[in-house]
Amino acid sequence: MAKGHKDKVAVITGAASGLGQAFAKRLAEDGVNVACVDIADAAPTAKLVEAAGRKAIAIKCDVSSEDSVKAMAAKVNETFGRADIVINSAGIFPQTDLGTLTFADWKRILGINLDGTFLVSMAFIPGMKQRGWGRIISMSSSTFGSVVTGFVPYVSSKAGIIGFTRAMASELGPFGITVNAIQPGLTRTPGATGRPPRAGFATMDDEFNAVAQVQAIKRIEEPDDLVGAASFLTSDDAAFITGQTMNVDGGRVRS
């Protein structure tokens, strides 16, 4: 069990599958109760949390909607009385050819990836400030430091996550709240396996394997490769670490 985790409450978005589900399972093993938040059904993730001996609730929420986030926060507070940890892992990453990119496409991707991070974090910051303890982690992406095409809104949203993390760390440091980001590489999640491969690759397996070969650790990244970083950054051991973006991508991007 990580230091300081016992009986804390975490809100994890994108928790129905992939990274969010992996984070929920690991934090439950660390002793954390979890609100599993997703626009999809996160009940299976809540069962994983309960199987680890912790309390859980599954809440449907559109993180890009202010009203939906307010309703979600009210349910969390009604159930647990507070949230100590927020992990913003809800996000989408469709390929968008620049020649056909519309403003509606841009707003949808930024709305979920960046606006959602802002709305969910802001919903729980007042309580964290009052209690003098909080942990906020958001997902950036190693695409921010990579040469890729077809992802202008996505990469822009992930750059925004880094800016949000750095600025919010300065605002919230005096209140015992740390704000950090994790930067995964191409990870084998349902969202990644379900999209078409980038140009030049016949299948997503081809793309996964090609990315693995430009990493120092030459294997495909899995959700469980990221849970240790989340566990550490939400623990008391990381109380003096804030405003940072941690690459967890097998050594593909260096910082």
Per-residue pLDDT, 1: 61
Rg (CA), the chain: 17
Neighbours of 248 (CB within 10 A): 18
CATH code of the domain covering residue 206: 3.40.50.720
Phi-psi region of 105 (alpha: psi -120 to 50; beta: other; left: phi over 0): alpha
Which residues lie below 8 Å from residue 136, measured CB to CB, with a gap of 6+? 85, 86, 88, 121, 125, 168, 172, 177, 178, 179, 180
Asked if the structure places residue 126 within a domain, the reply is yes
Residues belonging to the active site: 154
Backbone φ and ψ of 99, nearest 5°: -70, -25
Q: What per-residue confidence (pLDDT) applies to 99?
A: 93
What is the C-alpha separation between 255 and 242, in angstroms, rounded? Answer: 16
In a domain, 4, yes or no: no
Divide the 255 residues of the chain into consecutive groups of 10 and give the mean pLDDT of each group: 90 98 98 98 98 98 98 98 98 90 97 98 98 98 86 95 98 98 94 85 93 95 97 97 97 86
Q: Is residue 254 part of a domain?
A: no
Pairing of strands 85-88, 134-139: parallel
Identify any residues that bridge with 187 across adjacent strands, giving them in sequence order.
Answer: 221
Q: Any idea which residue has 């954390």 for tokens?
A: 32
In 3-state terms, what secondary structure has residue 4?
A: coil
What gap in Å lies between CA 4 and CA 47, rounded to an integer?
23
In a domain, residue 253? The reply is no
The pLDDT, as a whole number, for residue 194 is 83
Name the β-bridge partners of 59. 37
Whether 158 is covered by a domain: the verdict is yes
In a domain, 115, yes or no: yes
Domain, as residue range, for 218: 9-248
Q: Of 142, 163, 171, 2, whose CA–CA distance to 85 is shortest?
A: 2
Domain total in the chain? 1
